[in-house]
Amino acid sequence: MSRGPVVVVGAANLDLISYVPRLPTAGETLHGSSFQMGYGGKGANQAVMAAKLGSAVEMVAKLGTDVFGDGTHDNFRAQGVDTTHVHRTDAAFSGVAPIAVDPHGANAIIIVTGANDLLSVDEIEQARPSIAAAGVVVCQLEIPLEVTAAALRIAREEGVSTILNPAPAREQLPDELYLHADILCPNEPETSLLTGGPVETLEQATEQAQLLRERGTAAVVLTLGERGCLVVDDHGATALPSEDVEVVDTTGAGDAFVGSLAHFLAGGADLRDAAGRASRIAAISVTGRGTQSSFPHAADLPPELLAPTASD
């Protein structure tokens, strides 16, 4: 199932993960039970997830010339992600993300973006040939908005489908992002922040997704955690349930979903089929610890989950 590479334009961070008895309150010091480091950043996570499923993946990002940047660059290559457009700078440290995870899998994350903030519009333009050849281009909001906007605009000019994951959450987005995103993929809090409305029920979620569509995006895939996801487009609204699993760590589940969605769409699956499969893979990811380390490889998944469909 291969019709074009997945090109991800976004951030790469080093995750510093502490497992704690509960999430700390302001000014509190807690003893954690264990600690680990992992490679992260929403863009990097989504790229690695797609690569683990078998997509050809190219990453467009910027790292510092430091040990974290060296490790991140090596990790991309080890995961099969093309690093032609992964730039380096000595003007800032590589991005980091300290994460606290409680015994129920809930997490709190602080992102220090560092070198990610220095990715430029000119460097996105340098990646135009890769964007033009892509099956799908994926963006998020961890890099400067004008850089994300440039990537989406170039993809539109080249006739390439786009996914925008509006995370970390913001109250407002430039109109251009909606207009150039074929698929907007927010979670519940991100949707509420963008629209100002509730998403506690499927009816409410559908209403808020339609509000987002009115701003210019063709389709909304709203992730609903353990409830699965909701697809809203010209064909109506379709709720796709998730699988019932034992949650260990929810860190990166949204990125597992977006990376999987990109993989299946780049391979030619229709949106509902792709979203349903992505929801199942995201559920599998929360049964393991860490971020990229919890993402399953294609060989670890049930064969029917990766089997071609009539639309492939």
Strands (E), 45-106: 57-64, 81-89, 95-101
Phi, psi dihedrals of residue 149, rounded to the nearest 5°: -60, -40
Q: Is there a cis peptide before residue 5, judged by omega within 30 degrees of 0?
A: no
Q: Which of 70, 255, 273, 312 is catalytic?
A: 255
Is 122 annotated in the active site? no
User: What is the three-state SS of 133-187?
Assistant: CCCEEEECCCCCHHHHHHHHHHHHHCCCCEEECCCCCCCCCCHHHHHHCCEECCE
Residue 176: left if φ>0, alpha if ψ -120 to 50, beta else—which one? alpha
221 SS3 class: strand
Q: Quick one: tokens of 238?
A: 């379709």
User: Annotated catalytic sites, by residue?
Assistant: 255
